[in-house]
Amino acid sequence: MKPRDIVFVAIGVIVAATCVRLGIWQLDRLSERRALNDQLRARAGTASIDFADVPRDTGEAQYRRVRITGTYDFENEIVLTSRSRRGSPGVNIITPVRIPGRDTAVLVNRGWIYAPDGMSADLPQWREPEAMSAETYVRNFQVREGPVKSTSAPRAYRWMDRTTISQDFPYPIAPYYLVLIGESENPPAEIPPRVPVPALDEGPHRSYAFQWFSFATISIIGMALYLRRK
């Protein structure tokens, strides 16, 4: 075998081995994702805890059911834009709740309301009694690339980014937010349909693993055909 052929085969082996390793890594990520999903489902199915007992670690708090009692601050509520329900555009109402004896407020997702442009809505007509006591579940804030705040609607945000959102409040906000648990299909007319616990998917890891293993197979077959021709 000529030196050039040896180099070609060596490169092919390295490429195939690298692709296999990346495929195995994606399968490991898939296993981790499944384990995390099982953990989050278990939390969502357990009995609710008091707000004062929510873990400080936001990772440990995610999806835990929480009982909260406080007062809505409707004057400082915001909306999450481009939220659809049954094919209709709308927004989610995010209202801060003041907890007795605490300076820090917690943001609460009260549910979805219709908004033709997916950005603005008449919020005062959706105000519930100021004194509230409800069951919720915990969600963590998100960090993404791109502009968070809408440029065309006041106090409207594309996603829940704590660093940006906290600038719109005259008091500190908790390091996580809560989502009200309640009727999501047929709520009373004056109450926004609540946002259910989102489905926990496995992400793209399976398909990525298949792609890497496919690349490894193509590399091996290519080497075999090359050597056979030689």
Residues 208 and 142 in one domain: no
167 and 224 assigned to the same domain: no
Q: Are residues 138 and 209 in the same domain?
A: no
pLDDT at 58: 80
Would you say residue 13 lies in a domain? Answer: yes
- Residue type (1 letter), 30: L
Provide the number of structural domains found in the chain: 2
For residue 28, give its domain range. Answer: 3-38+204-229
Q: How far apart are CA 53 and CA 49, in angstroms?
A: 6
pLDDT: is 191 or 92 the higher one?
92
> pTM score, two decimals?
0.72
- Whether 51 is covered by a domain: the verdict is no
Among 201, 157, 173, CA closest to 58: 173
pLDDT of residue 15: 84
Question: In this model, does residue 219 exceed pLDDT 90?
Answer: no
Residue 228, pLDDT above cutoff 90: no
Could you tell me which residue, 157 or 15, shows the higher pLDDT?
157
**209 with 176, same domain?**
no
- Check whether 73 has a pLDDT greater than 90: yes
**pLDDT tens sequence across 100-117:** 989 999 999 999 999 998
- Which position has the higher pLDDT, 5 or 18? 18
| 109 lies in the same domain as 169 | yes
Which pLDDT score is estimated for 186? Answer: 66
Asked whether residue 78 falls in the same domain as residue 165, the answer is yes
Work out the number of other CB atoms within 10 angstroms of the CB of residue 119: 19
Residue 205 has pLDDT above 80, yes or no: no
**170 vs 42: which has the higher pLDDT:** 170
Pair (71, 154) in one structural domain: yes
Average pLDDT, integer, range 66-94 = 93
Judgement on whether residues 175 and 72 belong to the same structural domain of the protein: yes
204's tokens: 């793209």
Question: Do 223 and 171 lie in a common domain?
Answer: no
Give me the phi and psi of 176, to 5 degrees please.
-150, 170
Q: Are residues 71 and 168 in the same domain?
A: yes
pLDDT digits (tens, 9 = 90+) for 33-62: 665 556 556 666 677 788 888 888 887 788
Would the pLDDT of 200 be above 60? no
Mean residue pLDDT of the chain comes to 83
Answer whether residue 111 is part of any domain.
yes
16 with 85, same domain: the answer is no
Q: What are phi and psi of 47, to 5 degrees?
A: -65, 150
Asked if the model's pLDDT at residue 131 lies above 90, the reply is yes
Does 204 score more than 60 pLDDT? yes
Q: Is 28 inside a domain boundary?
A: yes
Structure tokens at 113: 């309301």
